[in-house]
Each structure stands twice: as C-alpha cells, then as structure tokens.
Amino acid sequence: MNVSPAKENIFKKIRKALGNPTPLPFPQSEGSDSVYQPSTQDLGLEFAQRFTNLQGKFVFCENYKELASQLNKVVAANKWDKVYCKEEGLRKTLAENQFNNYSYNDLSTCDTAITSCEWLVARTGSIVMSAAQESGRTVSVYAPVHICIAHTSQLVYDVKDALASAREKYAGNLPSLITFATGPSRTADIEKMLVVGVHGPKEVYVFLVDQ
C-alpha cells in the first residue's frame, strides 16, 4: 500500500514521540498513593481546625464525665428542652454520667438530636455516618441542631482511610448508606448567597472524647 508523503511524515512524528515519552508532570497523582500527605500535627487538632473553619462547634472532653457536664452547659445555654437521642447505648452512657436531658421522643419537633458516628476525617473536617448506626439515616439531618459524640480512636486522616476502615469493619458487607457531613447544611443556589441550614441542620456540634 502506497503511503502519501504527508501521512509518512505524521507516522515519523508519532514514532519519534513514542520513542521519547514525556514524563508525567505529577507522578504522585497516578496509582493508589494519596495526593495529600498525612498531617504532621495531631489528628484531633487538624479536625478541630477544619471543622470550626466550616462553622462547626467543637468541644474536647477528657472523659465521659466531662462530656456530660459540657453537654448540660450547652443545652442550658441554648434553652433546649426537646433533646432527642435514639441510641440506647449512648443514652445509657450519658445517663451514667449525669446527663438526662434527652427524654424527648419526637424527632419531627425536637430542638436538637444527639448521635454517635463512624469516623471523623481530619483533612476535611467531616463526620462519617452510616445506615448501620442505631440512629439510622434521618436523625442527623432532620433536627435543626445535630450533636455528634465521637472518640479520638475514630479519627482518620483522609476520606480513603475512612472508606478502608468501613470495608474492614463491615467485612465487605457495607451499609446501604455511608454519608460524609462536612459542617452545617448550606447552599448558594439562590442568587449565589450562602444560606446555612437549608437541607439539614443549621448548627453542628462535635464533642470529642479522649478514648
């Protein structure tokens, strides 16, 4: 088959290019390595900084006794009298440490809801929750204020670390929903004006217990 000089010229350029490949400008972006390098500071501090930058409210507690005391103060300061908590284990732990302000049983009209979580992602300031939790899918997003109780052992650096932990914890049988909540609900769809508390809670608290 005859090849025109123009085509032959193109083929020569292709062969030359293949013989001298251009190196990848960002080699670390290929493969399984994370683009983000682990933080050199404490994961709790990293999470607190990211979370508060997103308008979240963060409280560190050394133990459950301090947790209950801090919760009582926050509830009293905000005059919440309709505090909802569905998780029996969490209710029991709080009651044992003198926090008993969660007797309200109507999620649809509560002031605030208390839940646990699966993990906290330090790099993004995100709370990771799943449908496998006793609180279910709706509690953390339905109430106007969400209070999350977490432990330092639940801190991970990146989203991929949380997903890896989920695969390990649930042995391949992942929950039907895994959600990443990053600060209070917000949107800027209407005339590019940021509005907080549209599709979920307008305030989010994380109480991190050293455990």
Q: For residue 39, give the DSSP letter.
A: P
**Per the domain annotation, does 16 fall within a domain?**
no
% of the chain with per-residue pLDDT over 90: 59
**Does residue 178 form part of some domain?**
yes
> In total, how many domains does the chain have?
1
Report how far residue 117's alpha carbon sits from residue 31's, in angstroms, rounded to the nearest whole number.
30
**Residues 105-122, mean pLDDT to the nearest whole number:** 94
Q: What average pLDDT does range 170-191 have in this prediction?
A: 78
Q: Taking residues 105-117, report their average pLDDT.
A: 92
- 9, part of any domain: no
On whether the pTM is more than 0.85, the answer is no
pLDDT digits (tens, 9 = 90+) for 15-53: 777 777 666 666 655 555 555 566 667 999 999 999 999
Instruction: Give the domain extent around 156.
Output: 40-209
Mean pLDDT taken over the chain: 85
Query: Which CATH number fits the domain that encloses residue 111?
Result: 3.40.50.10420
Q: Is residue 26 part of a domain?
A: no
CA distances to 16, 18, 82 from 4, rounded to whole Å, are 18, 21, 82
Residue 32 domain-assigned (yes or no): no
108 within domain boundaries = yes
User: Rounded to whole angstroms, how far apart are CA atoms 149 and 61?
Assistant: 10
Considering the domain boundaries, does residue 20 fall inside one?
no
Strand ranges across the sheet with 145-151: 57-61, 203-209, 145-151, 112-115, 83-85
The pLDDT, as a whole number, for residue 197 is 45
Asked if the structure places residue 18 within a domain, the reply is: no
